[in-house]
Homo-oligomer: A and B are copies of this chain.
Amino acid sequence: MFRMRGRAVLDSRVQTVTTKKVDVALLGATGSVGQRYVRMLSRHPYFNLRVVVSRSSVGRRYGEAVRWMIEGRVPDEVAEMKIESINSESIKECKLVFSALPSEAALEAETRLAGEGLMVVSEASAHRMDEDVPLLIPEVNPDHLRLVELQKRRRGWEDGGAIVTTPNCTAVGLDMVLAPLLKVAPVSAIVVNTMQAVSGAGYLGVPSMSILENVIPFVKDEEEKVVRESYKILGRLEGERLVPAFLPMAVSCNRVPTLDGHMESVLVEYKDDVEVEDCVKSLATFEGEPQKLRLPTSPARPIVVRSEQDRPQPRLDRMEGTVPGMSVVVGRVRRGWGKNTVQMTLLSHNTVRGAAGGAILTAELMHAKGLF
């Protein structure tokens, strides 16, 4: 009846895991992304959410303090947890920290916690561009996790702590789609136009007076981030040096009155002619380590290609996939102006695949690789 496949798959996997769960702290637990973490970590086979941290409500019960904005209710076991401060000693009893902090707060706190021996998986932008910090999409650049060794050595973090980051929510959907498209043939230019949901800016980020019956053709710093981060994600490791992928790329970001799900209209110009069918095939068959390792939060298909003429649509398709919200949905794959250009529309759930879900999948990959 109600979206069962994701959980069904998950449950069957649960039974194969017998090792002790990893204790986890969650920074920024009451925000809209924090809520997605709480939901997705509930009954997780590897991770046990033990500490919830939020600046504004230290000492209160999570269930009371949170303004729950997503489907369903606060999981019972989390509702009863007391909210801790960022300086709480109990964070140190965890091995893994998920950080959904604002960027300024993240800069100092994440470095401190990593230095104290914790593995920090962060979706804040603070450390994304540090040259010794992986910026990870598990299906796209899992090998970049090797930067963790460099990081520990350079920063003298001997207790085993490190920072791993996940990309900007708009870059995630784009780069998951570019990865298989770049395999088809050499690309000469990329043009992206986004139509982004309000949840991307956080609960207070977009006042209703701004966005009701309106479009705002601007998202602060977003266009620069998408280009810069894509270069890093799609780049390759040469030894311990990450060589960015330089691709002519032009991005226009717009905010539209949707709640969740970033739509992106993408044109890819190839250096030579390509077949649209080859692009569709490369997208539809794309998979990566998470699928091979059957990680709990990995969708059966990272990219779902739709053939209807009017899909994807944010409200109808953002929860697509065997793990709802973890698949990028691509539709309207078609010719651009000539035989060397291809156009399409993609949809990616910005607070699931683009935030909490992407970070959890990253941590699952790290777990599978024995990083903690």
Contact = CB atoms under 8 A, between A and B. Distances in A.
Contacts of A10: 1
Contacts of A324: 1-2
Interface stretch (A37-45, A122-130, A276-284): A37-45
Contacts of A252: 193, 265, 267, 332, 343, 345
A313 B217 contact: yes
Contacts of A39: 1-2
Interface in A223-242: none
B208 A212 contact: yes
Interface string A195-215: 100110001111111111111
Interface in A289-334: 309-316, 319, 324, 331-332
A339 to B, nearest CB: 11
Interface string A170-213: 00000000000000000001010101001100011111111111
Interface string A1-37: 1111011001000000000000000000000100000
A7 B208 CA distance: 30
Contacts of A217: 263, 265, 310-313, 331-332, 345
Contacts of A207: 203-208
Interface stretch (A77-85, A108-116, A144-152, A253-261): A253-261
Interface residues of A, number: 68
A337 B215 contact: no
Given A2-B72, A4-B7, A208-B210, A314 B215 contact: yes
The 5 closest A-B pairs by CB, nearest first: A193-B193, A250-B336, A248-B337, A218-B310, A213-B213
A213 B258 contact: yes
B208 A211 contact: yes
A195 B7 CA distance: 35
B209 A199 contact: yes
Interface of A: 1-4, 6-7, 10, 32, 39-40, 42-43, 68-69, 71-72, 189, 191, 193, 195, 198-199, 203-218, 248-250, 252, 254, 256-259, 263, 265, 267, 309-316, 319, 324, 331-332, 336-338, 341, 343, 345
7 contacts: A1-B7, A1-B42, A191-B267, A208-B210, A213-B213, A216-B313, A217-B345
Nearest to A206: B208
A205 B69 CA distance: 17
A211 B319 CA distance: 17
Contacts of A315: 212-214
Contacts of A257: 208, 212-213, 256-257
B332 A195 contact: no
B213 A259 contact: yes
B206 A209 contact: yes
Nearest to A1: B7
A215 B204 CA distance: 17
B254 A195 contact: yes
Contact of A250 (B204, B309, B312, B341): B341
B7 A214 contact: no
Of the listed residues A1, A203, A213, A319, the one surrounded by the most CB atoms of chain B closer than 10 A to its CB is A1
A363 to B, nearest CB: 16
A254 B346 CA distance: 12
